[in-house]
Structure 1
Amino acid sequence: MGVCDIGNDINISSGLNLNTTGITTFSMAGWQLVLWATAYLVLVLVAVTGNATVIWVILAHQRMRTITNYFIVNLALADLCTAAFNAAFNFVYASHNIWYFGRAFCYFLNLFPIMAMFVSIYSMAAVAADRYMAIVHPFQPRLSAPGTKAVIAGIWLVALALAFPQCFYSTIIVDEGATKCLVAWPEESRGKMVLLYHLLVIVLIYFLPLMVMFVAYSIIGFTLWRRAVPRNQIHGANSRHLQAKKKFVKTMVLVVVTFAICWLPYHLYFILGHFQEDIYCHKFIQQVYLALFWLAMSSTMYNPIIYCCLNHRFRSGFRLAFRCFPWVTPTEEDKLELTHTPSVSVRVNRCHTKEILLFTGDTPPFEAANGQGRSPQDGVAPEP
């Protein structure tokens, strides 16, 4: 990790997360600090409010409780916690260069950022895998509710194991009267071992899952867009199911691409820093780091906006959630979108089941007619 003295004893250091890097002083004018504080405050408020609303829309309405949406809840929870803890507390620490929050929280804040990012991206990967099975292999057994809980628990446990080394070596020091929270790697592990650990983390929480999702959504897109609905069903349920699936794929691809764009500069910055430590010896790097960190953290606030803009049920849910504001007026249709469950399902003869399910797969995420949706084995084609 590079440390440089700039001007009036300004120390800039680097690491995977801001609070794991040792001493970091941001020497800036008061007006700059106010602008950055405002930018981070807006980020935290939008991310916490938006993701909390997404969680409420799904968990408070039976119609939204589908297998896929539980992974969306897991993603929203990770993003909410990232904004509330990582973005907020790291900015306070960076702007003052003094650790105010005690030893226990030092351990937590060196552990949680990697955990949260791992959970976020692997929740997206779980959604991609679920959609892949539903659309490309609709007759294969689907993930059950207990299986979904097990997958979510497994994601958190693996995330904990990956982040544990930084937590284990976290420590509090006092430097010239100022308390610091940093990661003190043992002497024998410095150099190549630390570099390998950080590169492994970046591969596992960024490049590998993005490659998997790229392949999965490419196959899903090819499968969906090559399908043709029979002429006599072009305005029927099969066509609506197909369009709903296409729209959902577009939504999730946008979510993944947004995540990738927000985090790529941040990871490249630290990969470069490992091989060229003198980049931290420039004063402008202070502003560059704050900008890159804000961009990375901003990934936590975009998903609720994407859901609200591209999905009518979430739009209805947001209107219901914010109905206390005078400029938000939910309609009866909004309430029906989240509470009304269609009572009629189209039963399909066994001889036609394969043909129908070729187009429907299963109930689209966000569009489920009941708590779990229906599997292909049900022999019915639920309406969206």
Structure 2
Amino acid sequence: MEPNGSSPRPGNTSHPKDLFAGLELLLHFKPLFIPLYCLLVAVACLGNAFLVGCIAANKKLHNATNFFLGNLSLGDLLMCLTCVPLTASYAFEGRGWLFGRAMCHAVALLQAATVCVSVLSLAAIAVDRYVVVAYPVRRRIALHSCGLVLAAIWALALALAAPPAWHTTYVDLRPIGHDLIICEEFWRHMERQRLAYSCAMLLLSYVVPLLAVTVSYCSISAHLRRRSLPGSANLSQARWDKKKRKTFLLLVVSVLVFALCWLPLQVLNLLRDLDPDFTLLGKRYVNLAQVSCHLVAMSSACYNPFIYASLHRKCRAHLRGYVRHRQRPNGQCARANTCLSLLPDAPGLGQGDGAAGENAV
């Protein structure tokens, strides 16, 4: 299940025995990998479910930025509930894929799609931050328009993930005497197309989010400098300038963590496409390397909730309030205690400026 997933049995060799050249070595590390996968799924599901539930339950968090953050967490949650357990099982199960033909293709599609959703959501957050700062008096994007953007993100992600799912093959070897079912990605006689797709996904995973964050940050800095005349900065402007640094620190850290987590797996899959005979890595070690890189890549789903909490004191207070089932006397959490409301209202927006100022992130 590549280029964005773990395929513990290399799919480019010509003999079935070659597919398991390193399986024995991998099974020696099973007592290490299984607890790590279980811990990963538990932490990622708990953290991302909290963020999604927090945004869904609190109407004060219903704005574009928070919906994009929720979409990012939803993609991570979906990946951890479906792709991670099944691919981990496939890696260590001697009988191969045990979940049927339909799930073989579905997991290949979802695993690649959730990666694209994360990339596009991070880019959308960067664009939204720019719009908020560059046009502070403009009304925020309507919720139905935000829903259309989210639908477009998922549609584009599924389209980008279609090639590996299309080329994933379900092969049952039991009729020929092997107690084995293979769920692998085979690009028969399409090596150039496979390599082009791997390179494109590698660039998409890094160029798009990093470029979006860089351009957005530079544009925001330029707008703030133009709005801040020497000697005329007021308290609201100073608070805005301080908060925007914290918000973009959060965004930059999220992008860097995502890129670093996925880098080993993307590079390994690219090497597999360039070296189908495994002369560089060796057949004995490719399974172990693939599962190790897959574990690191999947761990990217764990970090975002902790990044938000560590960079914002009020997020930790909000989390403690949810854990202890505490609420304010009026039954609602105040806006100041929402973990995702990281920016104050734009300078110049008062209480009378309507919903755009009241609920701005």
TM over 0.5: yes
Distance across 2 between alignment mates of 1:286 and 1:169: 20
Q: Pairwise CA RMSD of aligned residues?
A: 3.4
Structure 2 match to 1:339: 333
Distance 1:365 1:340, change over 3 A: closer
| 1:152 lines up with 2:150 in the alignment | yes
Unaligned runs of 5+ in 2: 12-18
| 1:285 lines up with 2:286 in the alignment | yes
Structure 2 match to 1:177: 179
Structure 2 match to 1:89: 86
Are the counterparts in 2 of residues 248 and 365 from structure 1 also a CA contact under 8 Å? Answer: no
Distance across 2 between alignment mates of 1:160 and 1:377: 42
Shift of 1:44: 0.8
Are the counterparts in 2 of residues 57 and 318 from structure 1 also a CA contact under 8 Å? Answer: no
Distance 1:331 1:140, change over 3 A: closer
Distance across 1 between alignment mates of 2:350 and 2:251: 21
Are the counterparts in 1 of residues 133 and 223 from structure 2 also a CA contact under 8 Å? Answer: yes
Match of 2:128 among 109, 127, 130: 130
Distance 1:341 1:50, change over 3 A: closer
Structure 1 match to 2:268: 269
Shift of 1:75: 0.3
Task: State the secondary structure of the residue aligned to 1:180.
Answer: strand
Distance 1:257 1:63, change over 3 A: same
Are the counterparts in 1 of residues 2 and 185 from structure 2 also a CA contact under 8 Å? Answer: no
| 1:243 lines up with 2:242 in the alignment | yes
Distance across 2 between alignment mates of 1:69 and 1:280: 43
Are the counterparts in 1 of residues 25 and 284 from structure 2 also a CA contact under 8 Å? Answer: no
Shift of 1:233: 6.7
Give the TM-score normalised by the residue count of structure 1. Answer: 0.77
Structure 1 match to 2:47: 50
Question: What amino acid is the match of 1:185?
Answer: W
| 1:64 lines up with 2:61 in the alignment | yes
| 1:113 lines up with 2:111 in the alignment | yes
CA offsets, 1:63-102, max 9 Å, x none?
2222100000100000111122222211110112510111
Shift of 1:341: 5.4
Shift of 1:46: 0.4
Structure 2 match to 1:27: 24
Shift of 1:104: 0.9
| 1:18 lines up with 2:3 in the alignment | no
Are the counterparts in 2 of residues 48 and 83 from structure 1 also a CA contact under 8 Å? Answer: yes
CA offsets, 1:329-359, max 9 Å, x none?
x685xx88962359xxxxxxxxxxxxxxxxx
- Once the two structures are aligned, what percentage of the paired residues are identical? 28
The number of residue pairs the alignment matches comes to 338
Are the counterparts in 2 of residues 128 and 213 from structure 1 also a CA contact under 8 Å? Answer: yes
Shift of 1:376: 12
Distance 1:254 1:375, change over 3 A: farther
Give the TM-score normalised by the residue count of structure 2. Answer: 0.81
Distance across 1 between alignment mates of 2:331 and 2:312: 11
The 5-angstrom pairing of residues 219-368 of structure 1 reads 219-221=219-221, 223-224=223-224, 236-277=235-276, 278-323=279-324, 339-340=333-334, 366-367=341-342
Shift of 1:205: 3.6
Shift of 1:30: 6.0
| 1:378 lines up with 2:336 in the alignment | no
Are the counterparts in 2 of residues 63 and 369 from structure 1 also a CA contact under 8 Å? Answer: no
